[in-house]
Structure 1
Amino acid sequence: MRNFLLGALIAAFIALGISYFITQSKTQKTEIQSSDLILDQIKNVGKLVVTEGHFSEVITYKDAKKYYLDILKAEKKAIVVVNASVMVSYDLNMIEHTIDTSNKTVTITNIPEAEININPDIKYHDLEEDFFNQFNPEDHNLIRKEVIRQLNKKIEASTLKANAENRLISELQKIYILTNSLGWKLVYKGSSITDSKQLLP
């Protein structure tokens, strides 16, 4: 009778041990599958998000030089018409992250800043110049700098950057939704993410 009880006890321990190892194996397999799904989602998000806009600007450029004790003045001026295409882009291949399977945590360590590319088409109208004060490459450089400065002001006042951020959020939201649905935690800038808007760089 004693041998039977001892055998039954050993058999119960073996069964419990096998059950524990099977459960652990299933848990580890689920965690590996979950981390693979998250990695795939991050790879899918990793692309160039581009938002485009078009802006126009009219600038009057003037320059005057004085000669002979400021008696004579040589002027030049031009009306500059600018049509520019602007691209605000996020290269999401630059997202940096770490995955901690034991704590079911995805930490995003870097989200790229927006890149703004301005391509202006500059045309000159009503160009006037004096023999002693003619247009030169330096004038064109100054005009181009002023054009870019004015366009940057227009871009800041427009909704272009906000629209680009909204597109960025919609892409990053895919990571947030997946981690949340799998019971994982998403961390960015040292904080747990509870809203995808917290992922803005």
Structure 2
Amino acid sequence: MQRRILIGAGIIVAIILLFKFCDFKKEDDSTVDYNTNLIQQQIVNVGKLVVTEGHFAEVITYKDQDKYLMDMVSFEKKAIVIVNADVTVAYDLHQMKYDIDEKNKTITIKNIPKEEIKISPDIKYYDVQQSQMNPFTGDDYNKINKIVRANLAKKIEKSSLKTNAQNRLISELSKMLILTNTMGWKLQYEGNLIEKEADFNQKIKG
């Protein structure tokens, strides 16, 4: 009789321990799911269009000559071109690719989209001089447009606009870093561990 009581008590204890283990396992899985969902939500919040705007102005003089009779006769056309351009540098973080490793608590950023530069020039022509022998044509306006865009592209490279856009990008990505550090996860990019904002700065600007 006593033996049966001991066996019954042992079975009850085993059942209680089994239930407790299952509850612990469920709680652990629940915590992982919660952390993963929270991180995914943060990535969604980061995934937006980061836009930096700038304004540029320039004045160019366009000239062109048509020559005849062994260059003894020429007909010139010219114009003063005033350009005001709005420029945007944007990163579409909706296109960012990443991988979440729940087991190792690691987020790996696989790809950060390249910046998109949009130039919207407002071109006005002044002091236009031409002749019937050498009038302004569509080809001239296309040439001027190409010259304007090439000059603006050089100005953009020398300006702080792209750097400012990169700083805004790093600021957005750092929100992921703060969350992963807070939750005990790791963040990787291009095979390297990202532990501080300066690591992003080195990767993106370097």
TM-score (norm 1): 0.91
Q: Match of 2:195, as an amino acid?
A: T
Q: Aligned partner of 1:27: which letter? A: D
Partner of 2:71: 70
Give the match for residue 140 of structure 1: 141
Q: CA deviation at 1:10?
A: 5.0
Q: CA deviation at 1:196?
A: 3.2
User: In 2, distance between residues paired with 1:83 and 1:143?
Assistant: 14
Q: Provide the secondary structure at the position in 2 that maps to 1:133.
A: coil
* Superposed displacement of residue 41, structure 1: 0.8
Task: Render the CA deviation track for 1:44-89: whole Å, top value 9, x for unaligned.
Answer: 1121111111000111111112101211111111111100000111
The number of residues matched between the two structures is 201
1:157-200 alpha-carbon deviations (Å, 9 max, x no partner) = 11111111111111111111111111111122122211235443
Name the structure 2 match of 1:177: 178
Q: What's the counterpart of residue 61 of structure 1?
A: 62
Q: Which residue of 2 aligns with 1:131?
A: 132
Unaligned ranges ≥5, structure 2: none
2:85 aligned counterpart, secondary structure: strand
Quote the RMSD (CA, aligned, Å).
1.9
- Structure 1: 5+ residue stretches without partners: none
- SS of aligned partner of 2:84: strand
How far apart are the structure 2 equivalents of 1:35 and 1:134?
67
Are 2:28 and 1:33 aligned? no
> How far 1:16 sits from its partner (Å)?
3.9
Partner in structure 2 of residue 21 of structure 1: 22
What do residues 109-137 of structure 1 show as CA deviations (whole Å, max 9, x unaligned)?
22111111000000111111132111100
TM-score (norm 2): 0.89
What residue is the counterpart of 2:160 in the other structure?
159
* 3-state SS in 1 of match to 2:56: strand
Q: Provide the rounded CA distance (Å) in 2 between the counterparts of 1:144 and 1:24.
A: 66
Secondary structure at 1:113 match in 2? coil
The letter of the residue matching 1:29 is S
Tell me the distance in 1 between the aligned counterparts of 2:120 and 2:112: 25
Q: Is the 8 A contact 1:169 1:197 kept in 2?
A: no
Counterpart Cα distance in 1 of 2:61 and 2:184: 60
Identical counterparts, % of pairs: 51
What displacement does 1:153 show? 0.7
Whether the 8 Å CA contact 1:75–1:129 is kept in 2: the answer is yes
Partners of 2:68 and 2:152 lie apart in 1 by: 35
- Residue equivalent to 1:89: 90
3-state DSSP of counterpart to 2:86: strand
